[in-house]
Amino acid sequence: MDTRARLGLVVGALAVVYVVWGSTYLAIRVVVEEMPPMSGMGSRFVLAGLLLGGLLALRGVDLRVTRAELAGAALLGLMLPLLGNGLVAVGEERGVPSGVAALLVAGVPLFVTAYRVLTGDWPSLWSVLGVLLGFLGLAWLVLGGRDQGDVPLVGAVIVLAASAFWAFGSWVQPRLTLPENAFVLAVHEMWTGGAMMVALGLLRGEDLAPSRYGAETWLAWGYLVSFGSMLAFSAYVWLLANAPIGLVATYAYINPVVAVFLGWLILAEPITSAVLVGGLVIVVAVAVVISVERRPARQEDEPALEVV
């Protein structure tokens, strides 16, 4: 493949990751208006895992894994789809605007750096300053937004917890026994995490009633299955193998910008001063941390395979 064609593929894949992953927060907000969060998101991941597994099987990919690899994938399914994505859905159900949820989740690299500090792996001074700045931005986004009536405190805390769990999954992933093929890992991560989410939803008393959901809900749910969990993830995995990691990592501070814009454009979510100031501080802080920590020889603290 010539350079121009490869550059075109990189640009196209980046556009998918930027826009599609940024738009998933909007789609989740639409879904949870009618569909219960855990059961709705869990069924999404189960179906996405089965569909991706079927496509891989048709291409001759061996989906078999060892018990240790399955256990590792299931732990990531617990941390990322269930406690990460599931709690985001719960927070949005409780009234957190989709753009604000995306900004709160943008703090994942900040939490990853904090976990490094807790384990004695001290990052650079610039990383520490970036983390402190980022947490100040998160605090301002939540507290300032609460004063302006657009960020419910309980919902925001739930989404922040999701960000912390997501970061823990990111931090622990390289320390687990996992399938070597990233797509095989995604299959087992999604179906195990999705199954746990559905089970937890049933334990919470969630009532799945497909016949009562409108076309808009099903359209958003289908978008999450096909575009959010399959297309965008595939583009992300391809980028990891074909583009500089520093370029790929820019999704971490582009996604929330896309989410805030789409939330304002489609759902008329307000862009208040708290969103503007807190969001800008968070995005800048994440950009600082990612720029400083992005070293070719160091892969253990990369963001985990994101399955929003």
Query: Where does residue 6 fall: left (phi above 0), alpha (psi -120 to 50 degrees), or beta otherwise?
Result: alpha
Please check whether residue 303 is in contact with residue 249, taking contact to mean a CB–CB distance below 8 angstroms. Answer: yes
C-alpha span between 279 and 277 (Å, rounded): 5
**Which contacts of 225-230 are long-range, i.e. CB under 8 A and separated by 24 or more positions?**
225/44, 225/47, 225/48, 225/51, 226/48, 226/51, 227/20, 227/23, 228/20, 228/21, 228/23, 228/24, 228/27, 228/308, 229/44, 229/45, 229/48, 229/52, 229/190, 229/307, 230/48, 230/51, 230/52
Q: What is the pTM of this model?
A: 0.86
pLDDT digit string (tens) for the chain, length 308 residues:
677 777 888 889 889 988 998 999 999 999 999 999 999 999 999 999 999 999 999 999 999 999 999 999 999 999 999 999 999 999 999 999 999 999 998 888 888 888 888 888 887 888 888 888 888 988 888 877 666 566 788 999 999 999 999 889 888 888 899 998 888 998 999 999 999 999 999 999 998 888 899 999 999 999 999 999 888 888 887 887 677 766 777 787 788 889 999 999 999 998 888 888 888 998 888 888 877 765 544 444 444 445 55
Where do the H-state alpha helices sit in 148-250? Answer: 153-172, 182-203, 215-223, 232-242, 245-248
Where do the H-state alpha helices sit in 59-152? Answer: 67-77, 87-93, 98-105, 108-118, 125-147
Give the contacts of 271 (CB within 8 A, at least 6 positions apart).
99, 260, 264
Closest CA to 280 of 141, 160, 83: 141
Give the contacts of 180 (CB within 8 A, at least 6 positions apart).
none
Please check whether residue 119 is in contact with residue 277, taking contact to mean a CB–CB distance below 8 angstroms. Answer: no
Closest CA to 248 of 257, 236, 263, 234: 236
